[in-house]
């Protein structure tokens, strides 16, 4: 088999909305630039995702210059600054972590509340907001955006191919929302990687990704589609009560990434 290659780079500017595939991206402390810096919260500041609002999958995101545009069924287009320089501060909560966010303008709150039919708002994570990665897996100075727990998720094409061979209907990679996809590996080879290098960037693989009900949301319909792929994954990828698919990473050396770059396996377990 030829050497592993980076085959996809994906960002999700608004947590739980659709992703954007890129040819090039910059790796920063919190992950890929612009990944999950925006998030939807309810009136108590609690984060909202496709787990409870599957129609979020139909919010289309696009980068236009220094603007993030959102489009959704029945809604007019909403524009947000890609990287605001000021905002009204509020505390938000995500998976038990409390951190500072900036509330977007009132128009955006009306827009997302109308679409989701629930009072909510859109918030942004400024650079000074403090949300460290779980200290059980990484030093406290490692920060994360509004991702579930870690800055990056990597999956190999061959792992998805192996899963699809077991499923009644094949699923696209976007169902699993990875940031980085690699090709030219054996299925689940990423399970055994500890340190990899892509271009000038280096990454530590810190934890398998536990999968949840979000993987049962069909990104084409914005609706729950049944028990797959969790039912099939549970048959052969369950560890300590959790279904595992993909690996969480932390960048130890940042820089530019491009699709097509070779993936060097520095250390294996």
Two structure tokens written together for 45: 């500041």
Measure CA 16 to chain center: 8
Task: Share the mean pLDDT of the chain.
Answer: 96
What's the pTM? 0.97
Average pLDDT over residues 116-134: 96
Two structure tokens written together for 27: 């790796």
Q: Is the pLDDT of residue 216 over 80?
A: yes
CA dihedral 29, 158, 9, 179 (to 10 degrees): -40
pLDDT attached to residue 140 = 66
Entry field: residues in the chain:
269
pLDDT tens for 156-213 read 999 999 999 999 999 999 999 999 999 999 999 999 999 999 999 999 999 999 999 9
In Å, the largest CA–CA distance within the chain is 54
Contact, 35 vs 249, CB < 8 A?
A: no
pLDDT attached to residue 139 = 74
Measured distance CA(34)–CA(263) in Å, rounded: 23
Average pLDDT over residues 17-21: 98
pLDDT attached to residue 141 = 80
The domains of the chain are located at 5-268
* CATH number for the domain formed by residue range(s) 5-268: 2.40.33.20
Q: Is the pLDDT of residue 101 over 70?
A: yes
Contacts of 96 (CB under 8 A, 6+ apart): none
Average pLDDT over residues 60-76: 97
């Amino acid at each position: 088999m030829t050497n592993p290659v980076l085959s996809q780079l994906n960002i999700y500017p608004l947590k739980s909305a659709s992703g954007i595939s890129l040819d090039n991206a910059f790796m920063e402390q919190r992950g890929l630039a612009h990944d999950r810096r925006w998030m939807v919260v309810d009136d108590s500041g609690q984060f909202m995702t496709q787990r409870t609002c599957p129609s979020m999958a139909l919010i289309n995101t696009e980068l236009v210059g220094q603007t993030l545009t959102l489009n959704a069924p029945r809604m007019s287009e909403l524009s947000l600054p890609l990287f605001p320089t000021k905002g009204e501060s509020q505390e938000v909560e995500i998976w038990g972590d409390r951190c500072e966010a900036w509330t977007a303008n009132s128009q955006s709150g009306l827009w997302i509340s109308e679409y989701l039919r629930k009072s909510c708002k859109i918030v942004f994570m400024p650079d000074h907001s403090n949300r460290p990665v779980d200290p059980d897996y990484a030093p406290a100075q490692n920060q994360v955006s509004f991702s579930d727990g870690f800055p990056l998720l990597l999956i190999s094409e061959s792992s998805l191919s192996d899963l699809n061979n077991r499923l009644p209907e094949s699923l696209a990679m976007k169902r699993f929302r990875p940031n980085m996809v690699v090709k030219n590996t054996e299925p689940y080879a990423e399970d055994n990687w500890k340190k990899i290098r892509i271009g000038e960037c280096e990454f530590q693989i810190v934890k398998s990704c536990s999968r949840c009900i979000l993987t049962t949301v069909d990104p084409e319909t914005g609706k729950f589609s049944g028990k797959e792929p969790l039912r099939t994954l549970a048959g052969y990828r369950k560890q300590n009560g959790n279904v595992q698919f993909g690996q969480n990473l932390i960048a130890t050396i940042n820089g530019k990434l491009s699709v097509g770059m070779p993936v060097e396996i520095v250390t294996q377990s």
